[in-house]
Structure 1
Amino acid sequence: MRPRPPVKGRGIFTGTGLIITGLMATLFALIFPLWSYADRSGTGVDVLNAQTVSTQYGPLSALDRDFITKVRLAGLWELPAGQQAQYKGTTPAVRTAGQHLIEGHLFLDERVRDVAVKLGLELPDEPTDQQRQWLGIMDGAQGVDYDRQFANILRLAHGKVFSVVAEVRASTRNSLVRALADDANTTVLDHIKVLEATGYVDFDALARDMAMGDTPPITASPPPPVPLADPRPAVPVAPADPVTPSPSGSYPLPPAAASPPPQAPETS
């Protein structure tokens, strides 16, 4: 028999051609996302690198700097709140919680000021408007209502800070920030425990506000008033393992750090 002449024009539509075409399409699909994002700014690692500066203690990110500021701000309103609880709290448990706030934030404030000086960062000297509002709410409350407002406002605030501390501790590349996060974690957890030990924390309202991303004060209805003739027994609180405080008779605000901020690394 005469051999059949080759069929022209089949090209890529042969079996081998289809396989090769499919492999090339798959390879392109894998490579294209890498190419398409290579020159985009404002995403992922690009943002981290753009907002990070070099220091002798390791890279300092924007999250690290925000954390340092928040540690300072926490002391500027929680320390006065603890001092207030010493004379407005109606139970030993509330006054004990206040004492833990004082000791913890005297310690943390000394630590954060030292870190800020070494990193050349300025710190705020006053609490935020919202923090002043929380202090105002507690200042206007009396008796059992004060105890409830104190426990719930501060417990919710500490719960929100707790997650920030964990994020910083898990991600920071700066040794000073890492050590500060360790101290903050110990202090915040201690405060959470003594606030819960007052017996006034509304865990249902706390869970709702945390899920909704709300901020203090807790908006749940207050518990029934306690008759003065038959007060509830105080909730005993065993002192938790306290952080080492830096005792001080007063709380002077330090001047802003004057050290120059660390410089961003040069890019080629």
Structure 2
Amino acid sequence: MLRWLIVLVAAVVPALSGVTAGHAAPPDVSDQDKAFLVGAHQDNLAEIQGGQIAERQAGKQSVRDAGRKFVEDHTSLDDQLKRVAKKLGVDLPSRPSEEQQAELRKFAAKGGTAFDRMWIGAQVEDHRKTLDFLDKEVSTGSSPEVKNLARDAKPVVREHLDLVTSIQSGE
């Protein structure tokens, strides 16, 4: 009877604590880390969709090329982010925020030079904000994996900002 009780306790306690035969439960993820993952994912989705619109509707080849680059880079960044979110048990939304969707609709309604000016101006502002968002996560986030995502994304976002700033100054 005692042996049976010991076996039962040995089986039940790890299950109740989230640990099973050699597998640790996902580490705790702060609300800030979760918000970062959700926000960064939505930013990536918006950049991918905006880049696709730029590829179709931009007037200048440089803007179409920037759109294609954004699609490629943000798809790659988002693939990494989704892997970390899954590992940490963070659910991600399936589309950009309502505000981002409204901005995408505005882009979709424009074409040529009008599109170029609107999209490039928005990209300069958005990428500056994104750098601040990444810096905040790197300096005050709690999950090393999420902080690494933010740290790894910074050079890509900086490159995008430099690209759109140079396009803007060339107008």
Q: TM-score, normalised by structure 1?
A: 0.51
Paired residues for 1:1-268 under 5 Å: 59-199=28-168
Larger radius of gyration: 1
Show structure 1 runs of 4+ deviating over 3 A: none
In the alignment, residue 180 of structure 1 is paired with which amino acid? L
In the alignment, residue 34 of structure 2 is paired with which amino acid? R
Per-residue CA distance 1:230-262 (angstroms, 9 max, x = gap): xxxxx5xxxxxxxxxxxxxxxxxxxxxxxxxxx
1:79 and 1:102 in contact (8 A); partners too? yes
- Count of matched residue positions in the alignment of Structure 1 and Structure 2: 146
| RMSD (Å), alpha carbons | 1.6
C-alpha separation in 2, matches of 1:136 and 1:126: 13
1:97 and 1:198 in contact (8 A); partners too? no
User: What displacement does 1:160 show?
Assistant: 1.2
Q: TM-score, normalised by structure 2?
A: 0.79
In the alignment, residue 143 of structure 1 is paired with which amino acid? G
Unaligned runs of 5+ in 1: 1-54, 201-234, 236-268
User: What displacement does 1:172 show?
Assistant: 2.2
C-alpha separation in 2, matches of 1:122 and 1:173: 18
User: What displacement does 1:82 show?
Assistant: 0.6
Unaligned runs of 5+ in 2: 1-24
C-alpha separation in 1, matches of 2:41 and 2:145: 15
